[in-house]
Chain A
């Protein structure tokens, strides 16, 4: 395999998850009981043998930095390559597009001696075989390969998606940035592959001409100059862009077919290890249709819910249709329904926290 350097580009993240992204980057939002969103793309990269990965961030990266550490859990603690955590070098350029992040890191690409650069982001929950994309890229003799998924999700809304149009040979004719996708549109997953030398020249030209603020703008403007191939991703992928879609995709994790595809079919998904004991179910526990992480102690009732690590559910407490993040305490007799409790929330005995229609987020460390 040709040497590939990976980038997880978080520069254009939108903080659209209400309280969940108030204090953390989108990529470090907890998901599926024990993961952070970034674990999926990062594991996909390392599973494809990419052992040099840069993470470009813009702001709110404390929890992300804490999560990634030395990159050991993803086998990225290397002498050759490894994990490169890249906060913005120039604070004043924070608000402009990601082209500056690429430019600030040109030496990273030049020095890495890699043949290809594979850029993805930190908010897709998927298990993709990047090796296959590299093979297809070579077989198609493409200059750039972009990854897309036809949108069949009625919940995607807001004009922050990129949509691509192809000719019969899966060659991209048009890339519309910042649009609201219609059903059937091909949503570009902000994931692309190109030669390192091409990326370097695209970035240098963009900065010199001053025309493009983002790498996607530069790609969109060069469709007639380069062969941009579209790779159709046929697997499971999430379009999380609001509390509602976060909640809905989380609930899809209760479908064993989805978790089978996400966690077992392609490669393992790695995350930071916490050394919690197995979950403990006491005499009075009643649990059904739920995902339970380690370190939980359950005396009450849990239905259609996701419990992250280290949660205590007291006797007689009822949790329904909810997502409970790490280390929450649910007192005896409390009732939780249709809510998302961020980390360290403490619900006193016999309290009721419910929401009628929309899932409600209770901010980190709240005491109720």
Chain B
């Protein structure tokens, strides 16, 4: 393999327990988003658009749908002769094998994958977030600062800061302290879980970390604090764009609704920064004479006879006559009968809603309709 400037390692093994039944059969990065995408499309498209053509995708939890979705990476232009996308599941070796214990251990177990490309830098990202980011700019910043590690950060509201890994930086954006979910945060600069490392430095720290029996083998808890302790050059790279961790039903719902603004902060149709996904091959959507559709995203293959307001319809959704869908996310191939009312709900792929049913409520809670069950989550 020829040498690469940067290899990306994409952590996609997350179970996403806070998404409830949505993730019974699929890993969080494979959860549908925005009417046609899956969450992981955003990071894969970022890689492709940033010119990073070598991506190792680390899978673990319920990998089948994710693996088949990624395929050979052709949807993201990542089907390359040298590099491209490689799915890296946990495996057995001669001395046994194990599940990935933490984010750092997952990379450690796949060091041979990185070594074959002998890269200058390794970009560590996760498939859990919705954002558009040019990693090549972060890479330039990392090089200019002569950094050993660079962590992308963004300012979060102060009252939420204690949910994140918080950086304390000096005047030159050098990270002097890293607090994982601090009770009393000193800043509101939160880690986005996007790291660039000099490969040689990372290799050393990952190997050392493996020797420590008390380590949780995690970037945020172990590797980054160890590098700061050793006074390595660890810099914060500020990001100002849209970024959302869609780890809960509430945040998943909000991030979908954010797309419905007149001028959303996340533009899906920028020709210079396309969000790629696997194409389901459906005809255009049909909006019937009786239908009303406003403030919504509707994908190909939908057939709408009813009323849709402030909602996101994935491909192949049918909305029957007299039905009303409001403030909801309807995932692929959901069939909604006649005279149905759905409000503030997330309806899982393939659900069939019988005529006349009422799902969800207007009390502000978000209902998840999955696996034939209705679960309400208060706001």
B276 interface residue per 8 A CB criterion: yes
Give the chain B neighbours of A353 by CB distance below 8 A.
Answer: none
Cβ contacts under 8 Å, A259 to chain B: 283, 286
Chain A interface size band reads: 35 or more
Q: How long is the Cα–Cα vector from A277 to B279 in the complex, in angstroms?
A: 11
* A37 beta carbon closer than 8 Å to chain B: no
Instruction: Say which one of B206-214, B240-248, B297-305 lies at the interface with A.
Output: B297-305
Interface pair B300/A34, CB less than 8 Å apart: yes
A118 within 8 Å of B (CB atoms): no
Judge whether A92 is part of the interface by a CB distance below 8 angstroms. no
Set of chain A residues within 8 Å of B299, measured between Cβ atoms? 278-279, 294
Contact of B286 among A256, A284, A285 (CB under 8 A): A256
- B289→A289 contact, CB < 8 A: yes
Chain B residues, Cβ within 8 Å of A273: 279
A271 to chain B: which residues have CB within 8 Å? 281
Which of B275, B276, B294, B312 has most A Cβ within 10 Å?
A: B294
Residue of A at shortest CB range from B260? A280
Contact B283 A269 (CB under 8 A): yes
Cβ proximity bits A22-35 to B, threshold 8 Å, 1 near / 0 not:
00000000001110
Q: Interface on chain A toward B: helix, strand, loop, or mixed SS?
A: loop
B85 → chain A, closest Cβ, in Å?
17
Point out the residues of chain B lying under 8 angstroms from A292, CB to CB. Answer: 284-285, 287, 298
Q: By the criterion CB–CB under 8 Å, are A256 and B283 in contact?
A: no
Q: Which of B275, B284, B294, B312 contacts A283 (CB 8 A)?
A: B294
Cα–Cα, bound, A277→B290 (Å)? 25
Closest to B297 in A: A278
Residues from chain B with a CB closer than 8 A to the CB of A307 are 284
Contacts of B298 in A (CB 8 A): 278-279, 281, 292
Residue of B nearest to A302 (CB): B287
Q: Say whether A290 faces chain B, with CB atoms less than 8 Å apart.
A: yes
With A288-B289, A292-B285, A293-B300 as given contacts, are A275 and B274 in contact (CB-CB < 8 Å)? yes
Closest-by-CB residue of B relative to A306 is: B284
* Residues in A neighbouring B308, C-beta threshold 8 A: 281
Within 8 A of B (CB), among A247-304: 254, 256, 259, 262-263, 268-271, 273, 275-295, 297
What are the residues of chain A within 8 A of B262 when measuring CB–CB?
A: 282-283
Chain A residue at smallest Cβ distance from B262: A282
Contacts of B275 in A (CB 8 A): 275, 277
Instruction: Give the distance in Å from the alpha carbon of A171 to the alpha carbon of B288 in the complex.
Output: 44
User: B residues within 8 A CB of A297?
Assistant: 269
CA distance A278 to B275 in the complex (A): 11
| Segment 180-226 of A: residues with Cβ below 8 Å from B | none
**Contact status A268-B286, CB under 8 Å:** no
CA distance A284 to B299 in the complex (A): 19
B277 within 8 Å of A by Cβ?
Answer: yes
Are A287 and B293 closer than 8 Å at their CB atoms? Answer: yes
Bound: A310/B300 CA distance, A = 13
Which B residues are CB-close (under 8 A) to A306? Answer: 284
A289 CA to B275 CA, complexed, in Å? 29
Complex interface bits, B296-319 against A, C-beta within 8 A gives 1, otherwise 0? 111110010000100011000000
Across the interface, name the chain B residue whose C-beta is closest to A263. Answer: B283
Assembled-state Cα–Cα distance A262/B286 (Å): 14
- Chain A residues lying within 8 Å of B226, measured Cβ to Cβ, are none
Minimum Cβ distance to chain A for residue B258 (Å): 13
CA distance A280 to B269 in the complex (A): 10
- Residue from the set B274, B275, B287 with the largest chain A CB neighbour count within 10 Å: B287
Q: Does B295 contact A (CB under 8 A)?
A: yes
CB contact under 8 A between A278 and B283, given known A34-B300, A283-B294, A285-B294: no
Distance of A125 from chain B, by nearest CB (Å): 12
Least CB distance from B103 to A in Å reads: 30
Across the interface, do B283 and A289 meet the contact criterion of CB distance under 8 Å?
no
A277-B297 in contact (CB<8A): yes
CA distance A310 to B268 in the complex (A): 12
When the two chains form the complex, which single residue of B260, B291, B295, B297 contacts A288, counting CB atoms closer than 8 Å?
A: B291
Structural contact, B36 and A288, CB atoms closer than 8 A: no
Q: How far is the CA of A283 from the CA of B262 in the complex (A)?
A: 8
Q: Give the residue of B74, B284, B292 whose beta carbon is less than 8 angstroms from that of A293.
A: B284
Query: In the complex, A271 Cα to B282 Cα: how many Å?
Result: 10
A270 touching B281, Cβ below 8 Å: yes
Which residues of A does B touch, CB under 8 Å?
32-34, 72, 254, 256, 259, 262-263, 268-271, 273, 275-295, 297, 306-307, 310
Given contacts A275-B277, A281-B298, 5 further A-B contacts (CB under 8 A): A275-B274, A275-B279, A277-B268, A287-B293, A288-B287
By Cβ-Cβ distance, the 7 closest A-B pairs, closest first, are: A33-B284, A277-B268, A278-B35, A278-B299, A293-B284, A289-B289, A278-B297
24 pairs, CB–CB < 8 Å, chain A vs chain B: A34-B284, A262-B283, A263-B283, A271-B281, A275-B275, A276-B269, A277-B35, A277-B36, A277-B268, A277-B275, A278-B297, A278-B300, A279-B297, A279-B298, A280-B296, A281-B294, A281-B298, A283-B294, A287-B287, A288-B288, A290-B286, A290-B287, A292-B284, A297-B269
